């Protein structure tokens, strides 16, 4: 009984997390970090399928609390049925909800897509604007989504701070901030602007594949020598 109790105790032990003695300043380690990211994630890219800015905007709204793979299963039929902002703007909300049901939170997402598209039709001739200042004026669109659209649909660099990027940047010691906008502003001067979009995808891929929120695989991580946070969880 004692041994069983001890085993249970051992199983409950939280992962050992060390804050490393790494004292390399962000400006000094960003170069090697970028090199390693290029080596390990040379093809990192947006994993949402789209052929124009409107499709990416809609796909990005649908991707909230949903995997990109699931969104990509829904969007081919959706994009065929609603080829323009005007189609979404005048759609039956109930029908749009059914069309996006599989992505979850379908009521809120349908309302959001229709609201955005009504503004696009009323103020932007149905086109998605190619500027951060204009994009963030659209209902429910923040800097992250705006940067996703700018970087991937318009080729205008932007740092897209999602939950993965924020977590990895914090652990690497590139920022001490928790607020996504503050993280973005910490990273902008560190990373050359032409690298912002690719760097974002690389950090997001790293967060998904190795630096998971609960169990980062630090012993397999190529960024280990530059990281401020090392978990020995097994
Ligand atoms: S996996 Fe570990 S070593 Fe790699 S970036 Fe994440 S916390 Fe740092």
Q: Could you read off the pLDDT of 175-222 as tens digits, one per residue?
A: 999 999 999 999 999 999 999 999 999 999 999 999 999 999 999 999
Could you confirm whether 144 is annotated as catalytic?
yes
Average pLDDT in the chain: 91
- Cβ neighbours of residue 41 under 8 Å, at least 6 residues apart? 201, 202, 205, 206
Closest by CA to 161, choosing from 201, 213, 109, is: 201
pLDDT tier, 233 (very low <50, low <70, confident <90, very high otherwise): low
Ligand 1 atom at minimum distance from 216 CA:
1
Least confident of 12-21, 100-109, 148-157, 178-187: 12-21
pLDDT for the residue 79: 98
Residues 152, 46 contacting (CB under 8 angstroms): yes
Nearest CA to ligand 1 atom 6: 211
**What tokens were used for 181?**
């906008």
Kindly give the distance from the C-alpha atom of residue 221 to the centroid of ligand 1, in angstroms, as a whole number: 6
Give how far Cα 24 sits from Cα of 30, 31, 218, 229, Å. 10, 12, 18, 13
Judge contact between 203 and 160, C-beta under 8 A: no
pLDDT band at 23 (very low <50, low <70, confident <90, very high): confident
The pLDDT value given to residue 7:
41
Q: What is the pTM of this model?
A: 0.87
Alpha carbons 106 and 83: distance in angstroms, whole number: 19
Instruction: Name all domains of the chain by residue range, CATH numbers in brackets.
Output: 16-45+158-231 (1.10.1670.10), 53-153 (1.10.340.30)
pLDDT of residue 60: 97
């Amino acid at each position: 009984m004692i041994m069983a109790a001890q085993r249970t105790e051992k199983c409950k032990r939280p992962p050992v997390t060390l804050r490393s003695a790494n004292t390399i300043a962000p400006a000094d380690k960003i170069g090697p970090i970028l090199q390693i990211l290029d080596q390990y994630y040379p093809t990192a890219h947006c994993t949402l399928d789209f052929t124009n800015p409107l499709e990416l905007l809609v796909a990005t709204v649908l991707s909230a609390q949903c995997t990109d793979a699931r969104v990509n299963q829904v969007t081919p039929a959706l994009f065929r049925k609603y080829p323009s902002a005007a189609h979404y703007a005048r759609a039956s909300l109930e029908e749009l909800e059914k069309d996006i049901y599989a992505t979850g939170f379908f009521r809120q997402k349908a309302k959001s897509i229709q609201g955005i598209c009504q503004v696009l039709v009323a103020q932007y001739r149905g086109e998605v604007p190619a500027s951060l200042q204009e994009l963030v004026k659209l209902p429910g669109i923040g800097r992250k989504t705006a940067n996703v659209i700018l970087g991937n649909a318009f080729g205008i660099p932007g740092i897209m701070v999602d939950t993965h990027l924020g977590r990895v940047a914090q652990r690497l010691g590139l920022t001490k901030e928790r607020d996504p906008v503050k993280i973005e502003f910490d990273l902008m001067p560190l990373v050359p602007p032409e690298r912002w979009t690719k760097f974002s995808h690389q950090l997001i891929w790293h967060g998904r594949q190795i630096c998971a929120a609960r169990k980062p695989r630090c012993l397999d991580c190529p960024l280990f020598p530059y990281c401020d946070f090392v978990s020995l969880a097994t």
